[in-house]
Structures are given as structure tokens and as C-alpha cells.
Structure 1
Amino acid sequence: MSASQPLFQDESAFLVNKLKRISAKRLQTMYNANSEITALNKARFQEWSLPFHAGNSRQAMLAFTGEVYRGLNAQTMTETEFEFAQQHMCILSGLYGILRPLDLIQPYRLEMGTRWEISAKIKNLYAYWSDTVTEWLNNHEDQGPLINLASNEYFKAVDQKKLNREVITCHFRDLKGSEYKSLMTYAKHARGAMTRFIVRNHLTDPEELKAFDGMGYTFNPRLSSGNELVFTRDQVVNS
């Protein structure tokens, strides 16, 4: 499988060089995690180095393993699907800013919402990445509507006031009692499944998203409005 280099390696290296100097105690506070997770990721930052190659890195779409990526199931994608994803999809990252699916990355943990004052003038990762991410999206060769399948935490890295593209946001809700509510784990999995649906079918028209029926979710026109597309299901199904 082919691979590409992350677009903003210098910016990532700047962050890693700062993270390498952070004490384990402070890093644990930033992560709000246990000492084992902290030690693992501190070691990863110490080992992080350029250049990226097949021996020390892996394509981003195959490297991530969270619930969204379980729904995406990239391990079963065809070469044609990977090519389409590379041209049309991007991943928001606390360490890399923007990643294309085939960009090589090394293991890390750095969530976009991490409480980290990078410098006196850069209060957090949103401030660090916002202009870079927004400018890249504005200048990307695919200038159709932007389908937002990111979490709120990550999409805040995009300055929507400066964004020159229409944004279509997809929501996934389950019937809970008498109301449809977003259940985090299921919603994450569904965002990955919707991404796979787009990639598999090479979709570029937002209207075609309404045909999605993965995991039992279907488009709900009553709850949808404008550029907010809501998909609901009444019963959890195996996925």
C-alpha cells in the first residue's frame, strides 16, 4: 500500500520537542490519566523522530483504533477506496493538525482539547492549529461542501468564521425512552460507518448521504434542518 508524509511535520516536531521536556507528573495532569498511560506516551514522545518510513510509522487510517475507526473498518478497504479517501478525506489531529488517510504517523496521544498552554501567546492546541487547519481546508482542491463527521472537540479547531466552504454536519441519535439522544459510543461508531459509506460509494453530493442505513440508522427528516442531518434508530442492532 502507498503512503504519504504528513503535511505539517515541522509544526508537529515543534510540539513534540516541547512535550519531550514536560515532566511525567505534569503530563499525567494534562492527560488526566493513570501513570501507566502517561509513561507509555512519554516514552513515545522521546522516541518520535523524523523521517517517517515504513519501519517506524504506519498510515493514519490504519493506525487509529478508536470506536470511529472500528466503524470505518479500514482494514477491509480496497485500493480504490483508499485512493478516494486520500483525495477527499482528512483527519483532525492534536499532534499533526491535518492528516490524510495514507499519511504516515508514529504512535502518540495528544487530544485536541488537552489543557496545555504551549507558550505565553499560544494558550492551547486550538490556537496552535486553527489558522493552519482552516487555511488548508479553504485551499483544498476539493471545494465541495465539507461533510463534518468529527467530534465537537476536534471540529472546534476549524475557524468556521474564516471557512469559505459550506459545512454539512451529521448527527446520530438513539431512541432513549421517548426521545432521540446521542449516545457517545454508538455515535462514534456510526460516524466511522458513515465515512465508510461515503468512501465505498465515492459520494460527493451531500444529498446522497440521506441514503445511509448503516447500523440501523436512517435519515430522519423531521429532526433534520438545513445543514444538520440527523440519523436515528429505534433499536440497537449488532454491528
Structure 2
Amino acid sequence: ANRRVDTSPTLPAIERYTGVLYDALDADSLPAHLRKRLDEQVVIFSGLWGAVRPSDPVPDYKLKMGATLPGLGRPSRYWKPHLTTALVEAGIATIWDLLPNEHTAAWDPSVASNRIRVRFLDDVERDGRRTLITVSHWNKLLKGALVRHLLEHRLDDPDGLVGFEHPQGYAYRPDLTTTSGNTTDIALVSVR
């Protein structure tokens, strides 16, 4: 795919990128006004293009943000100053940061006015005690459904998640919210 990237047919980014996050978002089923909001408010980080909007035309390619390229290094390092500047210039008041670590390395979160970072946690029993552990396997699926909820409800703070019934059985736990500088860390915890 990479050898034909300059001649490959394109698809809108929201159709080109696939996986459980995109399946859970189910952009095809969004009504027109939410598709417009999706395109205006969602930024997708890309190892090859830096960042794209959901409707941007994207050819078939493979390049992970954490890959190491000869003579260039990691795409995340290359894109960091560019994406940081672009996000500042976009003037986004609240950034819901749902990025995996390798993508977070592609921008400087300290420039955000208000950054909300989301964690999904499972409430499990270990050694006879309840403990919270970070969800890793289903993380992307959980984020896709959350993005859809954020679009539907135009949320700009975590309080809007109170009462949100995540389709996979996770609920916002305000008692686990912490704030440091411009970043608010929130948690959605399994309620099974």
C-alpha cells in the first residue's frame, strides 16, 4: 500500500481507518448534523499526514505513529511541533484527549486551554480486595462509543457524563476525577 500512496484511491478518513473504535463510533449511522459536528470537532492523528479531519481524503497506507523511520525517527517526534501549533491555532476550548500514548507523543498537551483525559477502568477482585485496573484490550471499543456520546451531547466538561450509560457497562466516577494544571483526568469504571 505504501508504494502506491500517491496514486491510491482515497476514502474519507472516517471510512479509511478501521477497527473497533470506528465500529463503536458507527459514523455511518450518525444523522447529517452529527456527521457535520464529527468533521468539525474530531481530529484524527496520523503517522503519515500528522492530523486529518474525518472527511479528509486519505489513500491506503500503513505507518504507525510509533514507527522508527531511517533518517527521520518516529513520526510522533516529527509531527509534534506541527500538530501543537495547529491545535493552538484551531482555538479549541476543550480537548477530549482519547489518544493512545504513541499518539499523545505527537503534540504538547500543555498548550491546551482545557484538556480532559479519559481512562477506562475495570473494578475487579484481587486477593480478596476490590481494585481498579486499566482496561487495555477493549480500550478502543470503549472510546468509540464515548466519542459518539460526546458528539450527541456537545459536552465540554466531564459533568455531562453523569448518567451516561456506556453500552459496554461503564459509568463516569466523579470521585476519581483529578485536575493538574490544564488537564483533568477522569475515569469511567465498569459497573458489572
Task: Indicate the TM-score class for this superposition, using the shorter chain for normalisation.
Answer: 0.7 to 0.9
Partner of 1:199: 151
Q: 1:132 aligns with which of 82, 107, 116?
A: 82
- RMSD value, Cα: 1.8
Q: 2:138 aligns with which of 186, 211, 236?
A: 186
Is residue 128 of structure 2 the alignment partner of residue 175 of structure 1?
Answer: no
Shift of 1:164: 4.1
Give the unaligned 5+ runs of structure 2: none
Give the unaligned 5+ runs of structure 1: 1-43
The structure carrying a bigger helix percent of its residues is 1
User: Within 1, Cα distance between the matches of 2:101 and 2:163?
Assistant: 24
What TM-score, normalized by structure 2, do the two folds share?
0.87
Q: 1:102 aligns with which of 55, 61, 73?
A: 55
What TM-score, normalized by structure 1, do the two folds share?
0.71
Cα distance change, pair 200–182 in 1 and its aligned pair in 2 (3 A): same
Q: 2:170 aligns with which of 185, 200, 217?
A: 217
Q: Is the 8 A contact 2:39 2:54 kept in 1?
A: yes
Shift of 1:185: 2.6
The structure carrying a bigger strand percent of its residues is 2
Q: Any residues of structure 2 matched to 1:18-29 within 5 Å, and which?
A: none
Q: 2:107 aligns with which of 158, 162, 167?
A: 158
Cα distance change, pair 57–86 in 1 and its aligned pair in 2 (3 A): same
Q: Is the 8 A contact 2:158 2:186 kept in 1?
A: no
User: Within 1, Cα distance between the matches of 2:12 and 2:146?
Assistant: 20
Partner of 2:37: 84
User: Within 2, Cα distance between the matches of 1:132 and 1:139?
Assistant: 11
Question: Residue 173 of structure 1 aligns to a residue in which SS?
Answer: strand
